Structure 1
Amino acid sequence: MNEVKQFSAGHDDLIHDVAYDFYGKRLATCSSDQKIKVWDYDDETGEWLPNDSWKGHDSSVLRITWAHPEYGQVFATCSIDRTIRVWEEQDQEAKNGGRRWAEKARLADSKGTVQDIKFAPTHLGLKFASCGADGIVRMYEAMDVMQLGHWTLMDDIEVVPGAKDPEGQMCLSWCPSRFQPQMLAVGHGFMLTHASPTTTQIYRLDPHNKWLPHEVLTGHTDVVTDVAWAPNVGRSYQLIATACKDKCVRIFKLVEEGGRGTTGAAGFATGFATKAARKFRVLTVATFSDHAAEVWRVEWNVTGTVLSSSGDDGKVRLWKASFLDEWRCMSIISAEQNTNDFGENAMR
């Protein structure tokens, strides 16, 4: 049985996010203490060793996202201080000296807290999307991947017009498939009279390259705190998971309606253009309230077959579908008790 190993992150306040790099050999943490820490995994000892620690923002750091390693060791962070900052490793600097990671860019277009940030799939280039309390999704791209100090604001999507709710929350996730048009799942919760207070929508480009909302993932009764689009390995449909303050984890299936366009090497461009106008049928395949507390994070494994969720109950729960496509809890991990429990519904 896998062992849960603890290590002290050394932060002086609440840890908001932990993000692994592409290979899972390095992770970064961020906290309300305004610090960012990077850790390297030691294969020989099985321990996480500190790489560096530094004050990264002027307020609580909320999220971290790693770029694909083909662009080097690069990640971005966002904060309550309304900025996004891009960091790159400096190999010539000593580890744990506070200068190993250099700030390459600082983006301050948001009029409110920047609450989520995600790099796009690598086939879309070096770009990321951010969202926050001002109700706007912004997309930035490095037109020259060798010049990380220069990022162009490519799009801004007003998801919640006139958002002024200080308790408002936004989150997002890219569709990872290279065989679909660019799509984003955007979750939000704003207590506004002229808009749905909480929802998750699928955005994609129209033929005029304008981002528009399409399908809605329904069923949420409180603020959506996280959304995760599953990697698609051989499936004919898409899976999206959400975490919500209504104490539920939900899994949605997106089934493409209509026939498929021309694909393959010769017809890739034609198929891609056709897909831009397509629609998806949304099915709710699972709703779990096992956390019995507000759920804050959901994340898929690299094949999109196992979903992990965490919440205020202090537990990480792993979900997997049976051969009958029924989703069940396969494992419960409690870091405080250093346990890994397999319950009655475990998939063996």
Structure 2
Amino acid sequence: MHQSSILPSTHTDLITDAAYDYFGTRLATASADQKIKVWRRGVDGSWEVEESWKAHDSPIAKIAWSHPEHGPLLASCSYDRTVRIWEENNDEPRNSGKRWHSIAKLVESKGSVRDLAFAPSEFGLRLATISSDSHLRLYAPSLPSLHDWYPLSSPHIPSLIAGDDKPSQPHPAEGGISRMLGRTGGPAESVGASTASGGNEVGGGGRCLSWCKEKWWGMVVAVGEGSDGDVQIISLPQPSPPVHLLTLTLNAPALPSTPSSAFPPQSSTPVSPIGSKLITTVSWAPSCGREFHLIATGSRDGFVRIWKVTTGEGAGSDGQWAGEVVAEMNDHGRTITRVEWNVTGTVLTSSGDDGKVRLWKATYADNYACLAVFDAQAEDAME
């Protein structure tokens, strides 16, 4: 039986992102009202706000929790071109406005920072960000202090793919000096404005990223960049320069869509691309013993796609990484806003502009079927 609850949000604008902590007992929400709220689940299953604060000077794009072994940390990114690291002070009372405080402000981006994610804990405290200037940045703190973060690498993705990206390995002190001098990324970027690298809020630049969960392959990230529906697989070995491993491209003939018969799509009319097949969200599945990787993507054309990526002996004839689309689902019929795998990589959750959340699971025939649909409007009607 599926159970759900409604959180009486006190955000004054659109909620742009939500993230559970490692244990699933706390939930952080971010909003276009520039605020972050942290919720705590009670013993009766209800959720209450334990802290709320203004975090940025523009709408917040994404938030992420660190692994608990690194302490209570939150990272947030915004259209104000900054990333902020927040640390919790348990000595302060809840709802005091002082429990979470900013310990670092990262200002290297020349465009809106659209996504960020902490690396798997095996690699230590590392934070990857992607922004509309098409730079993938990897940050680390100058331990034992968490107040000074510096970029380990910041490849420009189109240049890296073309093979003419010059490795950038700033000295740790360089990043610290820039922040001590108060350098910023310039005025806040408006929606639709061009960035320094030619990207813009409508199409170009990087939009989303997801870490490979298997430490065997090192620090590897899947990045949605550009407007052609491609996903770039990039390795970030340290201290070696970044390496482009693979492009998952939709230039090949698309598979027939597979809407669920039990849960029909929003519309029977084929979905036409909304300007492009731009990738809006990406999620790398935990391997859990598989000999291949699964990467899910969502895009503006309304499709959820699942890619099978092979490496080593199971890859192409040249032993390089290879990938192919193994499933396409267009049940949402609208832009896909989020895809996310469960902890075993067996169930995929997707949400879209149709206002629905769908759960997907592979059948014995390796076809992905829709297990359930959650409809916010239907839930409201029941109240």
- The TM-score, its normalising length taken from structure 1, stands at 0.86
Paired AA for residue 151 in structure 1: W
Q: CA RMSD in A?
A: 1.9
Tell me how far 1:106 sits from its aligned partner: 0.5
Please, which of 257, 282, 291 is the counterpart of residue 236 of structure 1?
A: 291
Residue in 2 that maps onto 1:4: 4
Residue in structure 2 matched with residue 124 of structure 1 by the alignment: 123
SS at match of 2:158: coil
Query: Would the aligned equivalents of 2:87 and 2:103 in 1 still touch at CA under 8 Å?
Result: yes
Give the SS at the match of 2:309.
strand
Residue in structure 2 matched with residue 71 of structure 1 by the alignment: 70
1:27 and 1:114 map into 2 onto residues whose CA distance is 22
Q: Distance in 1 between matches of 2:237 and 2:60?
A: 34
Q: Which residue of 2 aligns with 1:159?
A: 157
SS in 1 for 2:122: helix
Aligned residues: 315
Q: Is the 8 A contact 1:188 1:225 kept in 2?
A: no
Compute the displacement of 1:290 (Å): 0.4
Where does 1:288-303 land on structure 2 (aligned, <5 Å)?
288-303=329-344
Residue segments in structure 1 that go unaligned for 5+ positions in a row: 191-196, 261-276, 340-348
- Please give the alpha-carbon distance, in whole angstroms, between the structure 2 residues aligned to 1:27 and 1:175: 23
Q: How far apart are residue 115 of structure 1 and its match?
A: 0.3
Q: Is 213-222 or 247-256 further displaced after alignment?
A: 213-222
Distance change in 2, residues 1:323/1:259 (3 Å):
closer
Q: Per-residue CA shift, 1:280-324, capped at 9, x if unaligned? A: 221211011000001011111111111101110000011001122
Instruction: Choose from 211, 217, 220 the match for 1:183.
Output: 220
TM-score scaled by length of structure 2: 0.79
Query: Which of 142, 147, 150 is the matching residue for 2:148?
Result: 150
Moved more, 324-333 or 211-220: 211-220
Q: 2:347 aligns with which of 281, 306, 317?
A: 306
Q: CA separation in 1, counterparts of 2:353 and 2:334?
A: 5
Runs of 4+ in structure 1 deviating by more than 4 angstroms, as ranges, are 205-208
Q: Report the alpha carbon displacement of residue 150 of structure 1 after superposing the two structures with TM.
A: 1.3
Measure the CA separation in 1 of the matches of 2:54 and 2:90.
19
- The one of 249, 262, 270 equivalent to 1:218 is 249
The amino acid that maps onto 1:69 is P
Question: Helix, strand or coil: the match of 2:215?
Answer: coil
Which of residues 365, 369, 383 is equivalent to 1:324?
365
Structure with the higher helix share, 1 or 2: 2
**Equivalent position of 2:21 in the other structure:** 21
* d(CA) in 2 for partners of 1:170, 1:198: 11
Deviations along 1:257-302, one digit per CA (max 9) or x if unpaired, are 3279xxxxxxxxxxxxxxxx96222121101100000101111111
Identity %: 42
Deviation at 1:152, TM superposition (A): 1.7
- Deviation string for 1:102-122 (max 9, x for gaps)? 111001110010000000000
Contact 2:218/2:237 (<8 A) preserved = no
Structure 1 294/214 Cα, relative in aligned 2: closer, same or farther at 3 Å?
same
